[in-house]
Amino acid sequence: MDLLLLLESSPPLLYVTVAILGLMIGSFLNVVIYRLPIILDRNWSRQCHEFLATESTQPDGDQAFNLIIPASRCVACGHHIRAWENIPVLSYLILRGRCTACGTRISPRYPVIELATAILSVVTVVHFGFTAAAAAALGFTWAVIPLCVIDYDRQLLPDSITLPLLWAGLTLSLAGIFTDSHSSILGALGGYLSLWGIYHLFRLATGKEGMGYGDFKLLAAIGAWTGWQALPVVVLFSSVVGALTGILLMLLKVHERGKPVPFGPFLASAGWITLLWGEDILRLYLQ
């Protein structure tokens, strides 16, 4: 309790604490980003083999593999990463971005995600202050970061993140933290059904699938957090930025024409921005 009072009375200390917490959460999110798709692939494979009554061909199917077990190791040589080698950002700088055992280069994505999580966490707390809304918004922030990266890598928005995010938004609406229950429920329905309708219209017109069902669930979750009133801003902002990004990537020849561009990162980014500054954006939009 004394610590909470100290953090409330000292904004600089609060921001430093949140930044450190953000770095640690970012380190865990790196694990989620790497392991969750593998866990899902193994579960789907096991279910298929059970349904077809065939034996699994996975080499380590019998070994425990989750977000906690086994301990982190180098993907190249299997070197077990020691505690001092796993300090967010700092260890990467000390190791100069290389494994101590084999010298393989470590992806700079790891410290970037840790830093991004810390920065977004501090921005969230600066915006909401020492409030329950800040704590809830931190949870939203930490959920959308792995969604963005996993969707970028695998064109996948895991239900294990989007559905809890949806239910959390609906639950928070009971306390009226971001929006009321009426707006939250309509936001969830409107978010899901709007993209569902666009998906089927696009499929009928072109014979192709323009997006996945994970996008419907993500926008439903965003609608549950922000209310139905913010959905037009979220959809407009994410669509415009997504289209411009896709065109830019093709012009730079970074992205092949005809290859799908994941929509989840743009939805998630627009949802986070709307959660923090949605009222200001909506006011400007209406003007």
Q: Average pLDDT for consecutive 10-residue bins of the chain (287 residues)?
A: 76 92 96 93 85 68 76 83 87 88 89 96 96 96 96 93 97 95 96 91 82 91 95 87 75 65 90 90 74
CA atoms of 110 and 97, how far apart (whole Å): 10
Please provide residue 67's backbone torsions phi and psi, each rounded to the nearest 5 degrees. -75, -10
Among 127, 155, 129, 231, which residue's Cα sits nearest to residue 188? 231
* Closest to 186 in 3D by CA, of 224, 219, 215, 218: 224
Q: What is the pLDDT of residue 219?
A: 96
Cβ(50)–Cβ(80) under 8 Å?
no
User: For position 259, what pLDDT does the model report?
Assistant: 67
- pLDDT at 223 (0 to 100): 96
Instruction: In whole angstroms, give the CA distance from residue 146 to residue 163.
Output: 14
| Residue 73, strand partner residues | 80
Q: What ranges in 211-263 are assigned the alpha helix state H? A: 213-226, 231-251
pLDDT at residue 58, as a whole number = 61
User: How big is the CA angle at 20 (ends 127 and 161), to the nearest 5 degrees?
Assistant: 70
Q: What pTM, to 2 d.p., does this model score?
A: 0.90
